[in-house]
Amino acid sequence: MSLVFYISSFIAILSTIMVITRYQPIHALLYLVVSFLALAVTFLSLGAPFAAALQVIVYAGAIVVLFIFVVMMLNLGKQTAQQEKEWLQLRAWLGPSILSLVLLAEMAVLLLQDAPEAMPATVVTPKQVSLSLYGEYIIAVELVGFLLMTGIVGAAHIGKHKKKSLHRFLQTYPNLN
Amino acid sequence: MSIVHAHTVLIVAAILFVLGLAGVLTRKNIIFMLLSIEIMLNAAGLAFVAAGSRWQQPDGQVMYLFILAMAAAEVSVALALVLQIQHQHKTLDVEELKELKD
């Protein structure tokens, strides 16, 4: 399974680089789907089949579809890609990228200090996960239910188009309404 | 067949997280910033799953589930905000959105 892990994590890193460098939003979204699917294969090779299935269903299936619908509703055309090309100059991305690379190097040095230990080749089954989820983590599951509820209510409230209502004396063109 | 070391998985997660961080810091379009935040959350989930798999405990996948639910709620609210921003300001540039009034 180690070869599967190396190939899929390489694909994930490569497609993530493509996501953050594209000009067109829809191209970035399609590369994001590839990145999420590659991470799902990584989860599978690490012995977490339930997480892999959820990655495909929720991330690649629901969240990215939501993004694609919003990009379609915004109707971003060629001028958006042109604007992105103007914004993404060398002096704009060089500084943050170098600082992030320094952070990554520090993280790698810290991680590689200890002796390497191998990952066990066992699978954490969905049965274990669900027993733990509805056993010791039951209060957190209920809190996540609250969170999703507030997410739905918030999205419905924010996304509502408010109709501006004026008194008929204040309207400049009353015949149009 | 060679073995996957725990450090390798964590370094992959760190690379993905740093790529997302660089995306948030670099891009000015609000949709690309949201995409980069998704990448960072996913990298954190990979670290959790790797830790759960290293000690063969289900807790890592449970935490991944919570990250997933949080990301779904966050994305729905954020995309509703993006639609309102485009509707009211006719732009997605974050530098145009300095004023918090109204």
- Could you report the per-residue pLDDT of A94-114, keeping only the tens digit for each? 888 999 999 999 989 998 888
Over residues A14-71, the pLDDT tens digits come to 999 999 998 888 999 999 999 999 999 999 999 899 999 999 999 998 999 999 999 9
Report the residue of B1, B4, B41, B89 to disrupt the A interface, i.e. the one with the largest count of A CBs within 10 Å.
B4
Examine residue A66 and state whether it is found in any structural domain, yes or no: yes
* CA distance linking residue B37 with residue B27, whole number of Å: 12
**Residue A171 C-beta-side C-alpha neighbours within 13 Å:** 10
Contact A132 B26 (CB under 8 A): no
Helices (H) and strands (E) in chain B — how many of each? 3, 0
Q: Does B51 touch chain A (CB under 8 A)?
A: no
Residue B66 covered by a domain: yes
Record: contact B22-A20, CB cut-off 8 A: yes
- In this structure, the answer to whether residues A146 and A72 fall within a common structural domain is no
Q: What pLDDT digit, counting tens, does each position of A117-157 carry?
A: 888 878 889 999 999 999 999 999 999 999 999 999 999 99
Boundaries of domain holding A25: 1-87
Give the 3-state secondary structure of residue A118. Answer: strand
Interchain proximity B49–A16, CB inside 8 Å? no
In a domain, A114, yes or no: no
Residues of A in contact with B30 (CB under 8 A): none
Q: Is residue B54 part of a domain?
A: yes
Count up the domains in chain A and report the number: 2
In a domain, A36, yes or no: yes
- If one counts the domains in chain B, the total is 1
Extract the tokens encoding A37. Answer: 């699917």
Domain contains A163: no
Instruction: Extract the tokens encoding A124.
Output: 């954490």
Residue A92 covered by a domain: no
Taking the C-alpha atoms of residue A154 and residue A149, their distance in angstroms, rounded to an integer, is 8
Query: Using CB atoms, which residue from B45, B49, B73 is nearest to A147?
Result: B73
CA B64/CA B48 separation, integer angstroms:
6
Compare all CA atoms of chain A with the CA of B82 and give the residue at the minimum distance: A70
Question: What is the value of ipTM here, to two decimals?
Answer: 0.91
